[in-house]
Every structure is written in structure tokens, then in C-alpha cells.
Amino acid sequence: MYNFRLGDKPGTTLFPALSAFRGVLISNVRDLYNRPMTNHGQKYFWLTAVALLVIQATLALTMVHRESLTFDEGDHMFAGYMMWKASDYGLNPEHPPLAKLLATVPILSDHLWVPPPMPGQFFKAEAYLNGRDWLARNDGDRQHLVFEMRASAELLALGLCLFVFLAARDWFGDPAGLIALALVVFDPNVLAHSALVTTDIGVSCFFVAAIWTFYRFAARPTLIRLLLVSLATGLLLSTKHSGILIGPMFVSLIAWEVLKAPRAERKRVALRLTGGFFAIVVLSVFVLWAFYGFRYSARPAGMAFGTSVAGYAQPLPHFESAVVVAVGHLHLLPESYLVGLVDVKLMSIAYPTFLLGKVYPHGLWYYFPLVILIKTTLGLLLLIVLATFATATGKLTRHRELFYSLAPPVLYLAVAMMSGMNIGARHLLPMYAFVIIFAAAAAATLAGINRRWAIICSALIVAHVVSSLLVFPNEIAYANEASGGPRNLHNLLSDASVDWAQQLLQVKQWQDRHPDQECWFAYFARPVIDPSVYGIRCHALPTFDTQWGGVGPVPPSVTGTVLISAGDLSGCEWPSGQLNPYRSFQSLHPDLAIDDSVFVYQGTLAIAEISALASAQQSQALLAKGQSGPALAVAREAVVASPDNLITQTALGDAAAATGDKQMAKTAWRAAILIAQRLEPGAQASYIPDLESKIKGLSAGKE
């Protein structure tokens, strides 16, 4: 024990004591990384690994227990249930079956009401709207069924953590395995999407599993190892369409193995691994077919699919469309899988992006690099810097393992940067899994060199954990301290990086604390999720997605409380920020932020543009019902409220054309074109060609 007094002179007792204590601390930390593994050590090693997995499940389930449905979950849940009950793969084909089937296993014995099919309806609309009604009637705001399905989906998160641990341990040793496990367990982006009935965690899990099993197969090819890597790859393909990137990843790994083999062995290695690759392709596609019941048709007998492979692929470039159609014609892949693959491509062609406070009508190559800088903990970012340093200086010497941990995420990130869909950090989760292994390898290696490195690496690991836990349980809205934290994130990013519509339980709690306040709510997931199911009584405000059916009349000014989801505040779904009816609120300071993603404004608020959008959408809804007269009256009200508005002028033109007033229709559409010409060039393409086509058709007497 150290004995010192505050009155001791410097350099007599206190400083030597502190120096000695520092030396003991550094020595003990270093020993954690270098201590030989005894029998007791092995026991504690595996107990620690199990404890970390238990912690991950506890954190994830605690978090989702307080979250309402996220945007896509109802769609996935209903589609998975109908796959089990009716062998219907035509709902939500944009995602393969595995994650949906796994999530819905716990509810298969329940006798649940099922909404009738929607013949002729677009498959996405049918899945979203029937999924909404199915959950509302069978579960309501109790979320018992939702929690059961989320608990089942958590198995994929545990699988991801386990495979990260096993791969890191196999490639870089026991300490690296435990460090990687700790990093992935507490990573805020992984936690945010664990136990959600979506596909991002599942595809990350099987990416790591496929690469790790291929590593073992390449080192010692056996039939068992071939079957394991084929199974992992098949499960990957059956989880998310981005799983097809495993093909070029395997090719890059095969090229590495061949180049690094002794010259005399290269031909044999190339033939062996190339043969293995083709066997993996065949066997993994067999696994994929199994998840579709070995049936080509998306929908069961007697039910028509709302599209065809050829018809849906028509907007693609000629070569891509021809390849997809040929594969479909030969029945090499299931119809549902092919339509989903096409849908992914179509969605990426012209999807708006919100970044650093601005809406762009297209994707940005630098979106994901900035997302990494904003959504990654500073501890992990600095560990990645140290890992890069350790690799460049030759301190990390296991070159084969380094290539396996780096080639997949680099390729994945490169493809993500070239894609046009920029909606959240969740699309980077497979990259995070491998980068965590890379960071853990460096931490274990550097900590074993000397005591100072041990302290530095330990401090960064602790910083990673603490930064994540400080925002718990609001991990979806995580942003690191250098980016301003969760409170500032809505100014930088949007969609699933901030607001995935998960806040209805917290909004209900706010309402219960203010029972007498009249409120108006712009909710990001309306009409896919209905806030009234959770007992929220606020009047509905229009959003980009409420064009599906409108929300009813909204006054041009309200006195009370306006709540706006971060996704609607940013206008991330509109092709241009100029079209966002909530942009005036961006300069206002909210009175309250609920989970850093629903913003509360109180007082007397002018919302004329929002009112006009509600009227325009109501006019379109009336037109869809064949009520052209009332639609025209409402559209006129919209234009009076906001005449310099692309949406209101378009609605007026549509309603006038339906009533036979060609002159009014042309005048309104031309006004809409003039307004659209003030938008960014990329945004103009979303409106002007359609408006010009309407005018041309009306002039030719087709309207």
C-alpha cells in the first residue's frame, strides 16, 4: 500500500508513489493481452464471451421493447407470416425470405386475422397496407406479437456477434476475438438494428460467416468445409439481395490465394479454388431455392402477381434488363427473387439524399464516408487509424488474415458509394463487422508490444463502449461527440440514421402528460403505420408518403402543438428541399425533442403551405375515387392557399382534366412546369417529363 501525505514536498513521497502506481497499472493492463492461457484462463475466456453475448441480447431487447414499429417492419412481418401460411412470396419481394421467416416462427401457432388480398394492387402497397391492418387488428399498441418476432430476429444479431468473435479469434488470436466481440456488442449502429425485423443485421451475420468459412475452406479444402461455406453463402443470398456481392468478394480472395501460393503450386490452387467456387455457387443457389419452396412463381396458384420479371425490368438499361429476363425465362432463380433484385436497382436510380442539411435528388459518392465519420464512435475511428498505422508499419504481420478482413469491407464500401440509395448507416453494417475485426486485431497486437500501447488501446475500447451507452436506449439516433451528438444529428443525416418512425410510444407518453393540448403530427411512417393505433389523438399533417390517400383538411394556421418527425423536417423524401412544406420549421428552435427525432413546436403557427399540400393530396384521393367535381373544388382551394406550388398546380391540372376543362388543365400544368424549372436539374426530371406528357396527351385528345 502506498503511504503519502498531501504536505509532502514534491519529489519526496507523492510523486514516486504515483509513478509506482502508474507502472503497476500499465503492467497489469499489458498482462491482460499477453498472459498465457491456462485452464482457468480458458474458462474465464469463454465465460466472458458468453457474458458479452448475454449483454448484447439484454441491451437489444430492452431497446426494442420501448420502440414502436419501424418503417419496414410491419411489411416484413406480414410477408413472413404469409410465406409460412400461404406460400405467398409475392409480398415484399424486394427482400428474400430468411429474416422474415425466422422472425415469424414464434407466432405461427397463433390464430390471427388475415386481411383479404388486394387484386391488381402494386405489391409494395399491398404488403405495407395489409401488414399495417394485420398488426393493428391482431396486436394493436400492446406489441406482444411484435416483441415475440423481434426476439426471434435477435438471434441474427447474436449470430453476427458470434461469427465476428470466431473469425477474429481464428485469424488473430484469443485477445483479438474478445476485443472484437466487445466492440461489436456495444457498437451503436449494430445495437440500433439488432432485434428489429429487418434484413441488415442478418446479411451482416452471413457475410462474416461466408468469408470466415471460405477462409477455412481455402486453407484446407474438405467436403465438410465446402458444404459449410455453401450453406453460409446460401443463407446470405436468402437474407438480402446485396448478398450477391459475395461473388466478387470470393473472386478477390481466390486471386489472393493464387498469387500468394508458391509458383509451382499456383495452377493447382487456382483449379482447386475455382472448382470450389463453382460448387459453392450451385449449392448456395440450391439453398436459396429451398427458401422459396423450390417454386418459380412468386404467388401461389390462383393468385396473380402484380407484375412480371420482364415488365418490371423494362426501365433498366438494355443489357441488365436482358440478363434478368433471360434468367427468369430459364427459371434459374425464383421470380420473387428476380423482381426484388430489379426493385433494388430501380430504387437506386433516382432516390433523394439528405446530407449536411441539404436535399439532393440523387445519391452522392461521398455520402457513406461522411456517414462513417458521423455515426462511428470516436473510439472505434481511432482504433481504425491505429490499425492502419499498424498495418503500414508492419506491426500486423498476418497478411492473409488481413486481406480477408479488409478486402470484403473495401469492396462493399466501394459498391455502396457507387449506388444511388443513400438512406442510412444500416446499409454499412456488413462493412462495420469486418472493420471491427481489423480494429480488434490491431488493438491486440499493439497492446502486446509495450505498456503504453496497452493503455491507449484499452482507453479507446472503453471510449467506444461509453459513447454508445451514453445515448442508450436511443441508439438509432447515435452520432459521435465530434458531430454534435444525437441532438445535432437531424441537421446532418436523416431517414434510418435518425428517424425510422420508432418513437410512437414516447409520443404517447408526451400526450399523456399533456392531455388537454390540441396537437398536429407530421409522422414519418404515415400511412404505413397509423399513430392512432397507439392511442395518439393528434390531427394528421401531410407528408410525402400521405400522397397515397391524403390526411384530410388542415387549417392554414393552428394554435397548439405541432410535432414533426425528423424525416419530415429534413424533407429527405422530396426530390428537392424547395418542395419540403416543413422547411420553415428548420429555422425554429423546438420546445422539446422526443428521442432526438420528433420535434415539438408550441404556439400559434402559420402552416399555409402544409395546408395546401393536404388539400392537393385530398384532391388526388378524390380523383382516385372518381369524384372529379369535389376534387376540382379542393384543388382550387389548394392553389388559392399556395399558388406558387408545384404540387397544388399539378393537382389542379389533374382535377380540371378529369372534369373536361382542358384549358384550365393546361394552364395549371404549364404553371407547374415553370415552378419545376426552378428546381435543381436532377429534381426537374421527377416532374417535368410527366407534366409535358399530360399536356401533349390532352392536346391530342387523349385526356
Per-residue model confidence as pLDDT tens digits over 491-511? 999 999 999 999 999 999 999
Query: Do 570 and 646 fall within a single domain?
Result: no
pLDDT over 90, % of the chain = 88
611-635 per-position pLDDT tens digit: 999 999 999 999 999 999 999 999 9
Task: Count other C-beta atoms under 10 Å from residue 10's C-beta.
Answer: 7
Query: Do 512 and 589 fall within a single domain?
Result: yes
65-97 per-position pLDDT tens digit: 999 999 999 999 999 999 999 999 999 999 999
Handedness of CA 427, 368, 338, 213 (dihedral sign): negative
Query: Do 636 and 599 fall within a single domain?
Result: no
Query: Do 594 and 506 fall within a single domain?
Result: yes
Query: Do 592 and 624 fall within a single domain?
Result: no
List the beta bridge partners of residue 606.
557
222-254 per-position pLDDT tens digit: 999 999 999 999 999 999 999 999 999 999 999
- Residue 363 is classified by DSSP as -
Q: Is residue 163 part of a domain?
A: no
For 258-280, b/e burial (b = at least 16 CB within 10 A) is beeeeeeeeeebbebbeebbeeb
Pairing of strands 358-360, 353-355: antiparallel
Between 19 and 63, the higher pLDDT residue:
63
> Distance between CA atoms of 620 and 616, rounded to whole angstroms?
6
Average pLDDT value over all residues in the chain: 92
Query: Do 594 and 510 fall within a single domain?
Result: yes
CA distances from 607 to 6, 50, 555, 613, 645 (A): 65, 54, 8, 10, 14
281-326 per-position pLDDT tens digit: 999 999 999 999 999 999 998 888 888 999 999 999 999 999 999 9
Identify the band that residue 177 occupies on the pLDDT scale cut at 50, 70 and 90. very high
* Contact yes or no for 610/562 (Cβ under 8 A): no
Query: Do 578 and 622 fall within a single domain?
Result: no
Domain end, chosen from 574, 606, 638, is at 606
Q: Is the pLDDT of residue 24 over 50?
A: no
Query: Do 584 and 623 fall within a single domain?
Result: no
* Contact yes or no for 449/375 (Cβ under 8 A): no
The reported pLDDT for the residue numbered 33 is 57
| Cα radius of gyration rounded to whole Å, the chain | 28
Identify the band that residue 49 occupies on the pLDDT scale cut at 50, 70 and 90. very high
Q: Is the pLDDT of residue 603 over 70?
A: yes
Q: Is the pLDDT of residue 14 over 80?
A: no
Query: Do 601 and 633 fall within a single domain?
Result: no
Query: Do 627 and 676 fall within a single domain?
Result: yes
Q: Is residue 542 part of a domain?
A: yes
End-to-end CA distance of the chain: 93
The reported pLDDT for the residue numbered 30 is 53
* Among candidate residues 440, 405, 384, 475, the one with its CA nearest the CA of residue 182: 440
Task: Count other C-beta atoms under 10 Å from residue 322's C-beta.
Answer: 13
Grid coordinates given for 128: 405495407
> Distance between CA atoms of 185 and 52, rounded to whole angstroms?
7
Longest CA span, the chain:
101
Domain end, chosen from 135, 150, 165, is at 150
Q: Is residue 131 part of a domain?
A: yes
473 upstream amide cis, omega within 30 of 0: yes
DSSP letters for 556-602: SEEEEEEEEEHHHHHTTTSSSGGG-TTGGGGGSPPSEEETTTEEEEE
Q: Is residue 525 part of a domain?
A: yes
Question: Total structural domains in the chain?
Answer: 3
The reported pLDDT for the residue numbered 34 is 58
Q: What CATH code is carried by the domain that includes residue 659?
A: 1.25.40.10
Query: Do 694 and 617 fall within a single domain?
Result: yes
The reported pLDDT for the residue numbered 20 is 46
Domain that holds residue 632: 613-699
What's the mean pLDDT in 501-526?
95
Q: Is residue 275 part of a domain?
A: no
Q: Is residue 215 part of a domain?
A: no
634-680 per-position pLDDT tens digit: 999 999 999 999 999 999 999 999 999 999 999 999 999 999 999 99
* Contact yes or no for 477/487 (Cβ under 8 A): no
Q: Is residue 95 part of a domain?
A: yes
Domain end, chosen from 150, 168, 197, is at 150
Q: In what order do the strands lie in the sheet with 519-522?
A: 539-540, 519-522, 557-565, 598-606, 592-594
> Distance between CA atoms of 164 and 379, rounded to whole angstroms?
18
The number of angstroms, rounded, from the C-alpha of 313 to the middle of its chain's C-alpha atoms is: 24
Query: Do 571 and 643 fall within a single domain?
Result: no
For 483-509, b/e burial (b = at least 16 CB within 10 A) is bebbeebbbbbbbbbbbbbbbbbbbbe
Q: Is residue 376 part of a domain?
A: no
Q: Is the pLDDT of residue 538 over 50?
A: yes
